[in-house]
Amino acid sequence: MSLLEIRNLSVEFQTVSGSFRAVDGVDLDIKETDLLSIVGESGSGKSVSMLALMGLLPWTANVTADKMEFAGLDLRTISNRARRKIIGKDISMIFQEPMSSLNPCFTVGFQIGESLKQHLGLGGAARKKRSIELLDLVGIPAPAERLKAFPHQLSGGMSQRVMIAMAIACNPKLLIADEPSTALDVTIQAQIIDLLVDLQNEKGMALVLITHDMGVVAETAKQVIVMYAGQQVEQQEVDSLFAKPRHPYTHALLNALPERSLHLDRLPTIEGVVPGAGDRPPGCLFAPRCEFVQDDCSQNIPGLQATELGAFRCFHPIDYTGQG
């Protein structure tokens, strides 16, 4: 049985100039110890879909889904009170900007202890003991002293470790990491990703890693979802995705990796930008930027086609049969 099962999730924002569809028909299946990666450009709806799952979107967002179940609970109809019992405990999330994600007015110890008190009802001494364990677990030196530190006294990498400690405080079944390393120094990025993967193995939890860094995906994930303009365009296991991307967008993304274009003089790019609220094309959303575009692409909307390895959303996927 899946831990998390989502069918046809859509999110629309009401704006002054009409409604804008940020997430469009996303399906997701996550099992107990999965490591799933969601990749895509900025504005492709990766974060929004996960925030929708957490119930953290502003009231201007309209979330619809055919199915959205976590551990047998229907998240569409759940009351706010019941949802607050799950989020922060069974599902937790860490964010892109660790420095601003911690409250500047409270100590590290207070902010970790708060989760422990809220969900596990631990007393003062137990909270302190557990907080020190957690900080130790995420690799923070001198954890007992660090409890009294305020966020402005920590570096970005340290702050993200504290965020991770807070997120795993109640042994979640699912941890969502929203671009956890993007805002950090390059040297720290790998440490944070390694830490997350280690913790996942150790704790046996599911991990959703949102990123726009294909390198991170290649090193960590098992399953990969590629998103474009709010839609899922491809889903595969990581090895086959890198070897044989079916969707032209995935193909173009991979070609844009510097490691893959060492033989070229110029790094390939994808011309154009992700369509915004006002300029969504009528057919396939990627058609205007696609190098394999054909006439029918801009007339009909392609559906998600399942294959034995995953799924893709394209009329004319890249065909590898001739290559053997």
Partner 1 sequence: MFAFILNRIALLVPIFFGVTLVSFGFIRMLPGDPVVALAGERDMTPERHAEMMAKLGLDKPAWQQYLDYVWNLLHGDFGTSVLTNRPILDEFMELFPATIELGVTAMMLAVVIGVPIGIFAAVKRGTFYDQGIMGLSLVGYSMPIFWWGLLLIILFSGIWGLTPISGRISFLYDVPTVTGFLLIDTLLSGEEGAFASAMHHMILPTIVLGTIPLAIIARQTRSAMLEVLSEDYVRTARAKGLSPLRVYGLHALRNAMITVITVIGLQVGTLMAGAILTETIFSWPGIGKWIIFSVFSRDYYAVQGGLVLIAMIIMAVNLIVDVLYGLINPRILHTSS
- Smallest distance, Å, CB 150 to partner 1? 4
Nearer Cβ to partner 1 (102/254): 102
Of the candidate spans 28-36, 102-110, 134-142, 188-196, the one that interacts with partner 1 by CB under 8 A turns out to be: 102-110
Check residue 85 for interaction with partner 1 (CB under 8 A).
yes
- Smallest distance, Å, CB 303 to partner 1? 33
Q: How far is CA 61 from the centre of its chain?
A: 19
Q: How far is CA 221 from the centre of its chain?
A: 12
SS3 per-residue string spanning the chain: CCCEEEEEEEEEEEECCEEEEEEEEEEEEECCCCEEEEECCCCCCHHHHHHHHHCCCCCCEEEECCEEEECCEECCCCCHHHHHHHECCCEEEECCCHHHHCCCCCCHHHHHHHHHHHHHCCCHHHHHHHHHHHHHHCCCCCHHHHCCCCHHHCCHHHHHHHHHHHHCCCCCCEEEEECCCCCCCHHHHHHHHHHHHHHHHHHCCEEEEEECCHHHHHHHCCEEEEEECCEEEEEEEHHHHHHCCCCHHHHHHHHCCHHHHCCCCCCCCCCCCCCCCCCCCCCCCCHHHCCCCCHHHHCCCCCCEECCCCEECCCCCCCCHHHC
- Contact flags string 12-51 toward partner 1, x per CB under 8 A: ----------------------------------------
Check residue 260 for interaction with partner 1 (CB under 8 A).
no
Nearer Cβ to partner 1 (153/300): 153
For 266, the token pair is 């110029």
Nearer Cβ to partner 1 (54/218): 54
Nearer Cβ to partner 1 (15/153): 153
- Smallest distance, Å, CB 289 to partner 1? 31
Q: Please pick, from the candidates 9, 26, 102, 314, the single residue that binds partner 1 as defined by CB under 8 A.
A: 102
Nearer Cβ to partner 1 (102/199): 102
Q: How far apart are the first and last CA of the chain?
A: 35
Q: How many residues bind partner 1 (CB under 8 A)?
A: 29
Q: Please pick, from the candidates 39, 86, 199, 238, the single residue that binds partner 1 as defined by CB under 8 A.
A: 86
Q: How many other C-beta atoms are found inside a 10 Å radius of the C-beta of residue 90? A: 18
Q: Please pick, from the candidates 87, 192, 210, 227, the single residue that binds partner 1 as defined by CB under 8 A.
A: 87
Check residue 56 for interaction with partner 1 (CB under 8 A).
yes
Q: Please pick, from the candidates 28, 65, 93, 108, the single residue that binds partner 1 as defined by CB under 8 A.
A: 93
- Smallest distance, Å, CB 148 to partner 1? 9
Q: Please pick, from the candidates 37, 115, 131, 181, the single residue that binds partner 1 as defined by CB under 8 A.
A: 115
- Contact flags string 122-141 toward partner 1, x per CB under 8 A: --------------------
Q: Please pick, from the candidates 46, 119, 246, 313, the single residue that binds partner 1 as defined by CB under 8 A.
A: 119
Strand partners, 311: 235, 306
For 242, the token pair is 């890198």
Can you tell me the distance from the alpha carbon of 181 to that of 280, in angstroms, rounded to the nearest whole number? 31
Of the candidate spans 28-36, 85-93, 242-250, 295-303, the one that interacts with partner 1 by CB under 8 A turns out to be: 85-93
Residues that bind partner 1 (CB under 8 A): 54, 56, 83-89, 92-93, 95, 97, 100-106, 114-115, 118-119, 150, 152-153, 163, 166
